[in-house]
Structure 1
Amino acid sequence: MNRRTLLRAGAAGTLLIAMRSLAANVVVSPILGELARAYAGPGAALREGRVKFDITPLVENGNSVPVEVTVDSPMTTAQHVTGIAIFNEKNPQNDVAVFELTPLCGRARVATRIRLATSQQLIAVAKMNDGSCWTHTVEVIVTTASCVEE
């Protein structure tokens, strides 16, 4: 291993640690908070947890970004996810996708591809049949923007 390879590996490791620490301390933007509360409905409390938002934190091209949302739920008649919504902060349209689920789905998992205009926050909100709502917020850095209006 030469010196350059060692320096590159060290820089990559430092960047990864910094990105993970940022992801752990994400403060939800006011726009996303308002969208999530509107989706959850009046009086519903939003709680962090049970939702796993899987998206690459550093996106090279915002034209087609793979996204997966998984919710920790047994998906039985007594306890299941009724809906999953994905919202973004800075695209021209903030509502990315809304999915409706039933116990017949078997798993509380959705996957799609989205466009991202620029670096921004995204939030996934899961509605449960008992009325509770769970969220997960991530920050994504986009190096080549999409959805740019000229």
Structure 2
Amino acid sequence: MTDQSDSANWSRRGVLAGLGAGVMLLAMPVRADDASVAQAITDTFGHTPRRDGKITLKLPPLAETGNTVPLTVTVDSPMSNTERVKRVVVFANRNPRPLIAIMTFGPKAATAEFSTNMRLSGTQDVIAMAELSDGSVWQTQVRVLVTVGACDTLQLRY
């Protein structure tokens, strides 16, 4: 009579089910949450106090697809030698990675404005933050309603 432990009695079906479940867990997209966005902001700007204002963030209130969402950021600044925008950072609180973009403005930049397209995983808040030459940090936030998320669907389709 042989003594067989439970771990040695795995069926082929049980092993395949376990492997399938593991693959599904790996394929599921990980989303940022408010804590990871807060950590990304702290990593980028430290504990500098943030104020609302000076930034205009233009995004569509409703995006039919998250594959390409237009974004325009404008910062109210004279862009002089003494007062100018050093950088603008964009965050999204439900994308796989919270940090979306960093735009740096050199001393000869005439305006603190840029436009681009971004992908959004679903309905979420987009946060733009600007660091000025005096060290102050300004922020604004806009919610975008996305009907079909980009980051989730493309991983499964392609």
- Scaled to the shorter chain, the TM-score interval is 0.7 to 0.9
CA distance in 2, matches of 1:134, 1:37: 14
1:34 corresponding residue in structure 2? 39
| Displacement of 1:139 | 0.8
CA distance in 2, matches of 1:83, 1:116: 22
CA distance in 2, matches of 1:32, 1:57: 21
Q: Which segments of 5 or more consecutive residues in structure 1 lack a partner in the other structure?
A: 1-28
CA distance in 2, matches of 1:140, 1:56: 7
CA distance in 2, matches of 1:133, 1:31: 19
Change in Cα spacing, 1:93 to 1:136, as seen in structure 2 (3 Å) is same
| Displacement of 1:136 | 0.4
Are 2:144 and 1:140 aligned? yes
| Displacement of 1:94 | 1.3
TM-score normalised by the chain length of structure 2: 0.72
Are 2:116 and 1:112 aligned? yes
- Which of these residues, 77, 85, 92, is aligned with residue 73 of structure 1? 77
Q: Is the partner of 1:103 in helix, strand or coil? A: coil
| Displacement of 1:141 | 0.6
Q: Is the partner of 1:147 in helix, strand or coil? A: helix
CA deviations on 1:89-114 (whole Å, 9 max, x unpaired) are: 11111111101102311000011100
For these two proteins, the number of residue pairs brought into alignment is 121
CA distance in 1, matches of 2:70, 2:80: 28
Q: Is the partner of 2:108 in helix, strand or coil? A: helix
Bigger CA radius of gyration: 2
Percent identity at matched positions?
33
Q: How does 1:1-150 map to 2 (within 5 A)?
A: 29-41=34-46, 43-148=47-152, 149-150=155-156
